[in-house]
Amino acid sequence: MKDKLDIELRAVIVDDEPLARERLRSLLKKHWYVRVAGEAGDIFEAEKIIKETDTDLVFLDIQMPGGTGFDLLDRLENPPRVIFVTAFDQFAIRAFKVNALDYLLKPVDELRLEESLKKTLTIPALPEDGGGLLSLTDQVFLNTGRKKLFLPVANIAAIVTEGNYTSVINLKGDHFMVRVSLKDWERRLPGNTFVVLDRTLMINRHQVRSWTAQSRNAELCIADIPTTFRLGRAAYQRFKELVTCALANKKL
């Protein structure tokens, strides 16, 4: 059967409980296309293994010493597909709606595991066309280090790059600094609403209020944010193309 389907999923099990890892590893042996490339008992070890093995899939616990499963995802520039394996069902349910294929409750049920693995064969990790994993009705999980929260996707006004981090700005102008690249946000968010103007700025085009042209630059007002966004030459050109397209369709 393996000759007929050229598929192999490189999986990493991340759980601080050795018995839980052992049980999951034993269950995965029944699925020929899954190869356990490594195991980790904390997020730091897991981060190293994931980067070294080019992991396709992570079975991820939430509560672990030294950091949660969400902390691990924030440390990865391009996280692989995730299946949460946890005893905390309510938290996992909310989380998988954002960026996970599924969640499994401990002890892992063999049939539920099989259902989860089927999803890995039918759902791509990230779309290449910028279509987005999330819709405007979804909520995105943000971990700033100091606080963790769920923010409705529709309430994101703009995202600004700041070094290795991005600042997610809501409609009121609140900033949430997270370790997620702008490129990753472009893949996650719906492309018919969120537009990248340059390497440092993504905007919610439906929240643009006004703009002021200044030679080859512009000042952009978005939602109820008290400060404006300065657009350089390239960003302003991209914005003008967006406006032209919007006018042609009679909407911005």
For the stretch 76-103, pLDDT in tens is 877 888 899 988 766 655 555 545 778 8
pLDDT at 155: 95
Among 73, 92, 122, the domain boundary falls at 122
SS3 182: helix
CATH number at residue 181: 2.40.50.1020
pLDDT at 233: 87
pLDDT at 1: 31
| Mean per-residue pLDDT over the chain, rounded | 83
108, 64: one domain: yes
CATH number at residue 45: 3.40.50.2300
pLDDT greater than 50 at residue 166: yes
Domain count, the chain: 2
How deeply is 69 buried, as exposed, middle or buried, from its count of CB atoms within 10 A (0-12, 13-18, 19+)?
buried
pLDDT at 96: 53
118, 86: one domain: yes
Q: Which two tokens stand for residue 35?
A: 């190869």
Across residues 10-27, what is the average pLDDT?
Answer: 95
97, 146: one domain: no
For the stretch 233-250, pLDDT in tens is 888 888 888 776 655 554
The fraction of the chain above a pLDDT of 70, given in percent, is 84
pLDDT greater than 90 at residue 49: yes
pTM of the prediction?
A: 0.50
Supply the range of the domain harboring residue 108: 9-122
CA distance 103 to 32: 21
The one-letter amino acid at 231: L
58, 84: one domain: yes
Q: Is residue 69 one of the residues assigned to a domain?
A: yes
Q: Is residue 182 one of the residues assigned to a domain?
A: yes
Residue 104 or 167, more confident: 167
- Using the structure block, give the residue that is written with the tokens 């923010």: 151
41, 115: one domain: yes
Q: Is residue 128 one of the residues assigned to a domain?
A: no
Q: Is residue 127 one of the residues assigned to a domain?
A: no
For the stretch 4-16, pLDDT in tens is 334 578 899 999 9
Which range, of 123-127, 131-135, 147-151, averages the lowest pLDDT?
123-127
pLDDT greater than 90 at residue 168: yes
pLDDT at 99: 58
103, 159: one domain: no
pLDDT at 25: 95
Among 122, 148, 163, the domain boundary falls at 122
Determine the straight-line distance between the first and last CA of the chain, rounded to whole angstroms: 51
Q: How confident is the model at residue 192 (pLDDT cuts 50, 70, 90)?
A: confident
Name the range with the highest mean pLDDT among 37-41, 120-124, 131-135, 181-185. Answer: 37-41
pLDDT greater than 50 at residue 26: yes
CA distance 132 to 126: 8
Which range, of 35-39, 111-115, 137-141, 171-175, averages the lowest pLDDT?
137-141
73, 155: one domain: no
Residue 50 or 135, more confident: 50
Could you tell me what percentage of the chain is helix, strand and coil, using 3-state DSSP and rounding each to the nearest 5? Answer: 35, 30, 35
Among 96, 122, 148, the domain boundary falls at 122
